[in-house]
Amino acid sequence: MKQRRDFLKAAGAAGAGLTLPAWAQAAGLFDIPTPTLPSGDVAESVLHALPGKKPLIKRTYRPTNYETPVEYFNEALTPNDAFFVRWHLADIPQAPDEKNWKLKIGGDAADTPAEFSMQDLKTQFEQVELVALCLCSGNRRGFFEPHVPGVEWSYGAMGNARWKGVRLKDVLAKAGVKKEAIEVSLNGADKGSLDKTPDFIKSLPVWKALDDNTILAWEMNGQPLPVHNGYPLRLVVPGWTATYWTKMIDEINIISKPWSGFWMNPAYRVPLGKFPAIDRFVSQEAPGGTNTPITSIVVNSMFTNIQPGAKLASGRTHVLKGIAWDDGRGIVLVEVSEDGGRSWRDAKLEKDLGKYSWRQFSYPYTPRKRGAASVMARATNAAGNTQTFSLIWNPAGYNHNVVQKVDLHIA
Ligand SMILES: Nc1nc2c(c(=O)[nH]1)N[C@H]1C(S)=C(S)[C@@H](COP(=O)(O)O)O[C@H]1N2
Ligand SMILES: [Mo]
């Protein structure tokens, strides 16, 4: 896929000689550029089935990082047994017990600490359901040039599902959110196998935690969550990348100071100003700092029923299918180009499943000339944000939303 000289060039640009400590490598960390991983890893696809899952594309086994093959994205909702799996830590409870599960709410900005069983959550609060896209910040990282280290995701570190649970704000209200609350920190039952690995603790700004759409979910597409996707309980933070969607969540703290743990800083950061459309997470920004947490999802799209190199018959109409998504402002337009980006025609937007769902699109494509051809898709949202043509490079390999160009062969 890539030439060796490209790799050497990329390695040079990344600063030769730096390597990560073993625990950080095990956790799939990527903030220190290392030249030891060759690019083009995405060309390799090893299919392997985890318990309860269909064969998925294995990236790493410990921790478990598996992506969904693109053909599943032709369905509006991604089946649970084909849904991608991403863990940072190696020690994941294999048989979490719903009957004894406890969610603890505390923190210095909570009025009174509280504890809820799954039964409490299912009986004491109003239940809500919504469709939302779960998208890994590093989806498509494997396409970064210069190459960046980390899990070398291709297109499949995402999935769209219908989630059911209760509003986080209703549950927090029982503990009481004090005026001085600034963030809400989130912790799951997973642990690092080496005690040096920092626990995976994230935090949200209070406004996002109290958003009506942020939910504690126990159901996914009408079924209990699969263990690998966070059974018995996970947070769903619609519109924000999945790093905040804490799985197997068992501890939440309402806090009056920014959470300064490793997974908030230095991990999961983007250079300040490079993605002007994303939400600001102000309490996590240092005065004079040059980076900011990754937050909301950038506008993006892809084709789902054609693979690069596909052979299509000339003079026939092929209905191209795809999906487009953003952070909930809403996709209003998807355009397709058949001539390398010179001219664009509107695709048809399919059924709207809610503002945090991806949106399917279709486009009748009738190639007339034999030989090499290509199609491109570009989405635009209600705020006028669109995709980029040249990669917005950043050291951790986040927010890849370069317009996809699929090369085809017309016979
Ligand atoms: N407890 C816990 N929750 C977690 C993570 C984790 O490592 N531990 N990873 C997060 C990240 S970065 C992603 S992309 C999503 C992946 O969700 P999935 O495995 O259900 O697809 O889970 C998030 N929630
Ligand atoms: Mo992620």
pLDDT tens for each residue of 339-393: 999 999 999 999 999 999 999 999 999 999 999 999 999 999 999 999 999 999 9
pLDDT tens for each residue of 217-239: 999 999 999 999 999 999 999 99
CATH topology of domain 93-135+156-293: Sulfite Oxidase; Chain A, domain 2 (3.90.420)
Best residue among 66, 241, 245, 269 to mutate for probing ligand 1's pocket (most ligand atoms within 8 Å of CB) is: 245
Whether residue 326 has pLDDT greater than 90:
yes
- State the chain's mean pLDDT as an integer: 90
**Pocket lining: 87 vs ligand 1, CB cutoff 6 Å:** yes
pLDDT tens for each residue of 59-73: 998 899 999 999 999
Q: Where are the beta strands (DSSP E) in 228-370?
A: 234-236, 249-255, 269-271, 291-293, 300-303, 311-312, 318-325, 331-337, 345-346, 348-349, 359-365
**Pocket lining: 186 vs ligand 1, CB cutoff 6 Å:** no
Kind and range of the H or E run holding 375 = strand 371-381
Q: Is the dihedral of CA 261, 220, 240, 105 positive or negative?
A: negative
What helix, strand, coil percent values describe the chain, rounded to 5?
A: 15, 35, 55
Compute the distance between CA of residue 172 and CA of residue 254 in angstroms, rounded to an integer.
8
Compute the distance between CA of residue 54 and CA of residue 37 in angstroms, rounded to an integer.
28
DSSP label at residue 201 = E
DSSP label at residue 221 = T
**Domain limits, the chain:** 93-135+156-293, 298-410
* Residue type at position 384: G
Q: What is the pLDDT of residue 21?
A: 44
Shortest-distance Cα residue to atom 19 of ligand 1: 85
Compute the distance between CA of residue 24 and CA of residue 16 in angstroms, rounded to an integer.
18
Which atom number of ligand 1 is nearest to the Cα of residue 187? 1
Please tell me the distance between residue 87's alpha carbon and the centre of ligand 1 in angstroms: 5
Which one is predicted more confidently, 308 or 231?
A: 231
DSSP label at residue 342 = S
- Tokens 């006028």, located at residue: 384
Tally Cβ neighbours within 10 Å of residue 112: 9
Tokens of residue 39, six digits: 């690019």
pLDDT band at 49 (very low <50, low <70, confident <90, very high): very high
**Pocket lining: 53 vs ligand 1, CB cutoff 6 Å:** no
Compute the distance between CA of residue 165 and CA of residue 251 in angstroms, rounded to an integer.
17
Compute the distance between CA of residue 305 and CA of residue 74 in angstroms, rounded to an integer.
7
Q: Among residues of the chain, what percentage have pLDDT more than 70?
A: 89
What's the whole-number mean pLDDT along residues 155-160?
98
Please tell me the distance between residue 158's alpha carbon and the centre of ligand 2 in angstroms: 9
Tally Cβ neighbours within 10 Å of residue 47: 11
Whether residue 395 has pLDDT greater than 60:
yes
Query: Do the beta carbons of residue 381 and residue 299 sit within 8 Å?
Result: yes
Whether residue 323 has pLDDT greater than 80:
yes
Non-local (6+) Cβ contacts of 100 within 8 A are: none
Compute the distance between CA of residue 164 and CA of residue 217 in angstroms, rounded to an integer.
5
**Pocket lining: 401 vs ligand 1, CB cutoff 6 Å:** no
CATH number of 298-410: 2.60.40.650
Q: What is the pLDDT of residue 379?
A: 98
Best residue among 83, 88, 160, 227 to mutate for probing ligand 1's pocket (most ligand atoms within 8 Å of CB) is: 88
Compute the distance between CA of residue 218 and CA of residue 234 in angstroms, rounded to an integer.
7
Alpha helices in 15-100 (DSSP H): 22-26
pLDDT tens for each residue of 91-137: 899 999 999 999 999 999 999 999 999 999 999 999 999 999 999 99
Please tell me the distance between residue 119's alpha carbon and the centre of ligand 1 in angstroms: 24
Q: What is the pTM of this model?
A: 0.91
